[in-house]
Structure 1
C-alpha cells in the first residue's frame, strides 16, 4: 500500500469515527428531548422559562403569540435547547473520545478536566443568567416603560432574547477554560496575562455592552463575572500546566 493510499484510508477512518460520534451525540440529545417531551412537557418548560418575564408584568398580564403556529413551535424549540444544554457533558465526552487517540498521556490529563469544567461553566452561565439577571433586567424594563404602554411581549421575540442572553452568558463563562488552553499551548504566559489585565477588564465591559440590553444592570451582571473568571483562569492555569507536562518537560 502506498503512502497516499494509507493516508486516504486514515482520513476516511477519521471521518467515519467523527460521524459515529456525531450520531451518538445526536442520540443523547434526542433521548433527553424525548424525556422532556413526556415530562414535564414543552408547555410546562416554556412556562418555567417565562416566569421572570411574567413576574415583571402587571398582575394578570400574559405574553402574546402573533404567529399561527407559534404556540406550538416556540415551546418545542425551548425544549430542544434545554435538551442540548443538559446533554452537553455527553456531547463534550464524544468530542473528547474522538480526539483522545491522538493525544499523549499527559495531554489526556488536561482534556478530561476541561471537558467537565466546560460543561459545568456553560451550565453555570445559563443558570446565572436565568436566576440572577433576567429578573432584574425585566423588572428594570417594566419600571422604565411609560404608563401609556401596555407591555405584552411576543413569545417568539422573548425566546430569541432569552436564547441569545443564555448563549452569551454560557460562552463568557468559558473564560477560565480559554485562559488555561492558551497558557498550556504556550500562546501566552501567565505573566503576560497579568500585564494585560486592564485591557481585559475594558474588553469585558465592551463585550457586555454589545451582547446585553442597554441597561447598567445586565451589563454589570455580565462584565463583572467575566473579570472574576479571568482572574480564576490566571490562578488555575499554572496548576493545569504543572500537572499536564510531558516527562521531558518536567525533567
Structure 2
C-alpha cells in the first residue's frame, strides 16, 4: 500500500498501535504455568475491545488470534495447551484489521531465568530490526535493509532464516511489495516509494537457516532447519522522504 492521504495514515496508525499494545500487554502478563491459549486470549481481548479483529483468523482461518511460538518453534505457533515454563523463549506475533486497514508486529521474550546466550540473541535481534529500519527512506533501495541486517548477523556470527521475509501491508495482511529480504539479496532491485507501507521482520538465529513445517497434523507451526534458537522482531513502517515512520510503536 502507498498512503494517499492523512485519513489512511491515521487508520494505519490506529491498527498498528493496537498490534503493539497487544504484544506489550501479553508480554507483561506472561508467566510460568500459563498456557499459550491463555496468553492468546489476552491478545484477543485487546483487539476485540478496540473493535479490531485478528488478521490471521480473518485472512487464513488460523486457529488462534495471535501466533505464539516457543523455543524450537520459529513462527506461526498455534495457541493451545502448551505450558510456558521458566527459561522459555517465546515469540508473540500480532497482526490485526480495523476499518479496512492492517497492521503487523512481533517480538520475542524470555521467561526468567534465562541463559546469557539467549539474552544476547534477544538484544541483538532488536538491534538487527532497528538497523534495518534505519535504511528506510523514500527513493532508497529495499536491498539496503537486507544488506544492513545481513552484515550485522555475519559480524556477530548469527544466521538469518532465509525463507521468512518481510512484506507489504496496509489494505491486506500480505501485499506488494512481497518477499522483502532481510538478508543480503543481489537480486533485490526495487526502490521504496514515498508513503509505501511494509514490514521489517528479521529472524535472527543461533544457526538456523531455513524454516520448515514439522509434519504431522499441524501444517502451521514452523521450525528452524537445522534446529536452533531463533528470535523475531517486527514493525510495520512507512517510507517517507525524511526516513522511516514506525506504525506499530505503542508510545
> So what's the TM-score if we normalise by structure 1?
0.26
**Greater strand percent: which structure?**
2
In terms of fraction of residues, the more helix-rich structure is 1
Q: Look at both structures and tell me which one has the larger radius of gyration over its CA atoms.
A: 1
